[in-house]
A and B are shown apart, each in its own frame.
Chain A
Amino acid sequence: MSASTRSVAFDTPAREKAADAFGMWVFVGSEAMLFGAVMLVFFVARVSYGPAFAAASKHLSLTLGTLNTAVLITSSFTMALAHFYSDARRWRAAVGTLAATALLGIAFLAIKGTEYAMEFHEGIAPVLGAPFTFDGPDPVHAAFFFGLYFTMTALHGLHLACGIIVVAGLLALWRGADASSRKRRVQAVGLYWHFVDVVWVFLFPVLYLINR
């Protein structure tokens, strides 16, 4: 057993890296089924209550939504750079881009939080017994839209928060890790990060851009 593999199961770090990446792909497939199920619920409701959903969607902040999309796509870019730098063993640059990725993730959550606060303030958050006021033609189904909106974005936010924690953990363990562990981890975490980003790329048009 080589000293640089983490698990007793593998002979070489290269095989372990390949297995880690493959495992992460399988996990991403599993996660895709999770978001797929929730999206399916959304689409069924969208077909049933199209006008109510379109009217409700107009109350979301397109500015903040677009800004968040930009933030997240930038973070995917920095994550891709981190992957590139760690493969090239340019460790300082890798650490820098990873930290930037995590910070952009935090920025995303902060903007999302602001948006949630605005929506609570406006009275269009039908959760936790908050008062719900909506002046459109079909408030019941508008509430349904916002229920789904909060479910889907919170689920995505939770995944992003997990991603930030994992990147932070990766940085915390950076010094103690050898080169092959670093590369392996950056690759696996990167895959996950890009997946969470792609989920948002689906959520954004579906939630914000109905009939705009």
Chain B
Amino acid sequence: MSFGIPFAPGEASSSAGSVDTLFYALLGFTGALGGFLTLLVVGYAVKYRAGSGANRTGERGRSLPLEIGWTLASLVIAFAIFGWGATLFVRRDHPPADALQIAGLGKQWMWEFRHPGGQREIDELHVPVGKPVVVSLASQDVIHSFFVPAFRVKQDAVPGRTTHVWFTATEPGRYHLFCAEYCGTQHSEMGGWVDVLPPEQYAAWLSGQGEGETLAAAGEKLFRALGCSGCHGASSKVRAPPLDNVYGRPVALANRSTVIADERYLRDSILQPAKEVAAGYEPVMPSFDGLVDEAELQMLLAYLKSLSPQGPPNNEAIR
């Protein structure tokens, strides 16, 4: 039927179907409205062409009921579409709690992914079918954007902050991964493939990558190498806040406000320690801005998160 010409992208994630339903509903609505207006205008143009014998009596230049009618109708329809789109959208913010956590790093011009077990891959992402996956995104240089058309997901990776994207792949296969935010010379080359594997093949793939140290273990090593443990460790002489079970919990600050220790807070505390000082401690910690790169930061965060085994309550991590 389609002679090899593609008309629609494949659906390979749990959210692709619901996005497509909205898309086709919109297509139907806009097609109907556009078709109706086209018929109306063409019909008038033919019927009332100069010299035609159409009846032109009873003409009016305005109609208040009509203006109010179509304004209200447009409003109702617009708000309905808004509600539908927004409902699907806010799900982006709520990944399932048991999701697989993968760290993604964009840099000119490649994607680097690290699995929880420490496996690292470039421009290629292996994920298991049927399991939710959260990719936390950071950027080493400019803004990039993680885009997998078959999953209907997209998220910018912005330097200086961590963003998230999540999906549950439903069909094993090999899907395009693109960078969707223009990022310089080789923007169109930046990307690769997402390989969705059945769980057993995924497990085989993971073990085939060799038992590297886990992301959290690498982070722990870094935690000691950078001297963080000297103050934050249990036996240290300098008084610094202990970091066990901090992630995801409220922290009282010196300025008498309270923040949730999410990724944003942990990240800022490493790079700009003077900004939000925990109550009861001196602001003596130096900034590690420039000393750790984005990849190392992701390892440190993985380690700090591993110190809170129960995970954050209510999945606040994504905020």
Q: Does A51 lie within 8 Å of B289, measured CB to CB?
A: no
Q: Does B272 lie within 8 Å of A137, measured CB to CB?
A: no
Q: Which residues of A contact B272 (CB under 8 A)?
A: 49, 138, 140-141
Q: Does B283 lie within 8 Å of A137, measured CB to CB?
A: yes
The verdict on A52 contacting chain B, using a C-beta distance below 8 Å, is yes
Distance of A49 Cα from B287 Cα, bound (Å) = 14
> Which B residues are closer than 8 A to A by beta carbons?
272, 274-275, 283, 287, 289
Closest to A55 in B: B274
Per-residue contact bits, chain A 169-187, to B (CB 8 Å; 1 contact, 0 not)? 0000000000000000000
Which 8 residue pairs of A and B lie closest in terms of their CB atoms, listed nearest first? A138-B274, A137-B274, A137-B283, A51-B274, A140-B289, A49-B275, A52-B274, A140-B287
Per-residue contact bits, chain A 26-59, to B (CB 8 Å; 1 contact, 0 not)? 0000000000000000000000110110000000
* Residue in A49, A52, A137 whose Cβ sees the most chain B Cβ within 10 Å: A137
Given contacts A49-B275, A137-B283, A138-B275, 14 further A-B pairs with CB under 8 A are A48-B275, A49-B272, A51-B274, A51-B275, A52-B274, A52-B275, A137-B274, A138-B272, A138-B274, A138-B287, A140-B272, A140-B287, A140-B289, A141-B272
> Which A residues are closer than 8 A to B by beta carbons?
48-49, 51-52, 137-138, 140-141
- Chain B interface, DSSP helix/strand/loop, else mixed: loop
Closest to B284 in A: A137
Q: Which residues of B contact A141 (CB under 8 A)?
A: 272
Distance of A52 Cα from B276 Cα, bound (Å) = 11
Distance of A49 Cα from B289 Cα, bound (Å) = 15
* Residue in B272, B283, B289 whose Cβ sees the most chain A Cβ within 10 Å: B272
- CB A46 to nearest CB in B, in angstroms, measures 12
Distance of A141 Cα from B287 Cα, bound (Å) = 11
Q: Which residues of B contact A52 (CB under 8 A)?
A: 274-275
- CB A55 to nearest CB in B, in angstroms, measures 9
Interface CB pairs A-B, < 8 A, 16: A48-B275, A49-B272, A49-B275, A51-B274, A51-B275, A52-B274, A52-B275, A137-B274, A138-B272, A138-B274, A138-B275, A138-B287, A140-B272, A140-B287, A140-B289, A141-B272
- CB B212 to nearest CB in A, in angstroms, measures 34
Distance of A119 Cα from B283 Cα, bound (Å) = 27
Q: Which residues of B contact A48 (CB under 8 A)?
A: 275
- CB B57 to nearest CB in A, in angstroms, measures 45
- CB A5 to nearest CB in B, in angstroms, measures 39
- CB B264 to nearest CB in A, in angstroms, measures 12
Distance of A33 Cα from B274 Cα, bound (Å) = 33
* Residue in A49, A52, A138 whose Cβ sees the most chain B Cβ within 10 Å: A138
Q: Which residues of A contact B289 (CB under 8 A)?
A: 140
- CB A137 to nearest CB in B, in angstroms, measures 5
Q: Which residues of B contact A49 (CB under 8 A)?
A: 272, 275
- CB B173 to nearest CB in A, in angstroms, measures 43
Closest to B283 in A: A137
- CB A71 to nearest CB in B, in angstroms, measures 36
- CB A163 to nearest CB in B, in angstroms, measures 39
Distance of A48 Cα from B160 Cα, bound (Å) = 13
Closest to B254 in A: A51
- CB B27 to nearest CB in A, in angstroms, measures 39
Distance of A173 Cα from B238 Cα, bound (Å) = 72
Closest to A49 in B: B275
Distance of A137 Cα from B274 Cα, bound (Å) = 7
Closest to A52 in B: B274
- CB B287 to nearest CB in A, in angstroms, measures 7
- CB A138 to nearest CB in B, in angstroms, measures 4
Distance of A60 Cα from B107 Cα, bound (Å) = 39
Q: Which residues of B contact A51 (CB under 8 A)?
A: 274-275
Q: Which residues of A contact B274 (CB under 8 A)?
A: 51-52, 137-138
Distance of A137 Cα from B272 Cα, bound (Å) = 10
* Residue in B272, B274, B283, B289 whose Cβ sees the most chain A Cβ within 10 Å: B274
Distance of A21 Cα from B272 Cα, bound (Å) = 49
- CB A7 to nearest CB in B, in angstroms, measures 37
- CB B43 to nearest CB in A, in angstroms, measures 45
Distance of A49 Cα from B276 Cα, bound (Å) = 9
Distance of A48 Cα from B272 Cα, bound (Å) = 11
Distance of A138 Cα from B289 Cα, bound (Å) = 11
- CB B279 to nearest CB in A, in angstroms, measures 14
Q: Which residues of A contact B275 (CB under 8 A)?
A: 48-49, 51-52, 138
